[in-house]
Structure 1
Amino acid sequence: MKRIAIDMDDVLADTSIKIIDQINNRLNKSYQHADLVQSDELKLAFYEDYQANNQFLWEPGFFLDIAVKEDAIDVVKKLQEKYEVFIVSAATEFPESMKEKLIWLEQHFPFIGWKHTVFCGHKYMIQADFLIDDHEKNLASFTGKPILYSALHNLHIHDYDRVSTWKEVGHLFL
């Protein structure tokens, strides 16, 4: 059975939306995801605000209530019928996130289970046939077939097969 490794943040979870909300709330800004996609100038201003004010990523609770990407639950369930599915997250960068991500997965993806969840610092050691991830740094060192999941921070990358929705993931693998 072929193996698919799936990242969490900005792949299963709408992490960028929560980050935008945090920056807006903390800095009294009004960034909108759709506007950031359209304007490089606005996106640069947002990233400057984010880099200077991203301490919330280390605060307890941040990773607990992030919304699930549309159709992710249904598609991942169907993938499990044909593939061995692992959730792979670089959660060790944010120590508070490890427990919170386990809770989040149990809440939204209880059918995955802890035996198919991998928290690591680097993903280059992951052995799978496919990796669905939003970060080029993880895909570049992957030895299987890399799939780039579209996110605000990777729209300029064109070196990988890309999916933008979980319906597209379903079409690709099912």
Structure 2
Amino acid sequence: MKKRLIVDIDGVIADIYGQFRKFELEDFGTNQDYSEITGKLEEEAFVNGEIYMATKGFFRNASVIPGSVEALKKLNKTHDLFIVSAATKFPNSMAEKQEWLLENFPFITWQQIVFCGTKEIVKGDIMIDDHFKNLDKFYGQTILFSQPHNLNRVENGHNRVANWDEISQLLL
């Protein structure tokens, strides 16, 4: 029986930090180095972060995190894969994220995409996420995808990975 794999979008397969930095560069002419934002949650690191996330095109135009397409294509064959995003806080993000997924991950069907308000309701065997708030409440195996906001924190039993090659080594 295949294991159910839950994968986050923002910060795991979509480069949200790149989007924040791009928007800040356009607005303020600044481009924070990752060392300046390490250990800070997105809302601390980026003053207008919530405004940016509510802006049309923010999610739609994010870059794909390297290695995620190839790895998810393989994992989709070996696991019951679901892409799960706590997207309802920013309603326009749901349509943008779905369009983005269909364009960049065409092998993922609409039945494999779940938008919710909190991931506490999600059940599965394995979750890959970049936020402790989601992993800490998950009852299966947890994989913490490294991002600047979580780098200074202890893993708390989560298996930390730096990239999709490491995920492939763990799960394939």
* TM-score > 0.5, shorter chain as reference: yes
Any gaps of 5 or more consecutive residues in structure 2? none
Go from structure 1 to structure 2 and tell me whether the alpha carbon gap of 1:146 and 1:48 turns closer, same or farther (over 3 Å shift): closer
> Is contact 2:61-2:100 (8 Å) kept?
yes
- Is the helix fraction higher in 1 or 2? 1
What per-residue deviation string (whole Å, max 9, x for no partner) do you get for residues 111-132 of structure 1? 1111000000110111110000
Go from structure 1 to structure 2 and tell me whether the alpha carbon gap of 1:53 and 1:9 turns closer, same or farther (over 3 Å shift): closer
Partner of 1:85: 81
Question: What is the identity, as a one-letter code, of the residue corresponding to 1:113?
Answer: T
Partner of 2:10: 9
Q: Does 2:25 match 1:29?
A: no
SS of structure 1 residue aligned to 2:102: helix
Question: What is the identity, as a one-letter code, of the residue corresponding to 1:161?
Answer: N
Range 17-26 or range 139-148, more displaced: 17-26
Deviation at 1:163, TM superposition (A): 0.8
Structure 1 runs (4+) greater than 6 angstroms displaced = none
Question: What is the identity, as a one-letter code, of the residue corresponding to 2:62?
Answer: I
Any gaps of 5 or more consecutive residues in structure 1? none
Range 100-109 or range 23-32, more displaced: 23-32
**d(CA) in 2 for partners of 1:166 and 1:120?**
24
Deviation at 1:22, TM superposition (A): 1.1
> Is contact 1:36-1:152 (8 Å) kept?
no
> Is contact 2:43-2:50 (8 Å) kept?
no
- Equivalences, count: 169
Q: Structure 1 length normalisation: TM-score? A: 0.90
Q: CA RMSD in A?
A: 1.9
Q: Percent identity?
A: 38
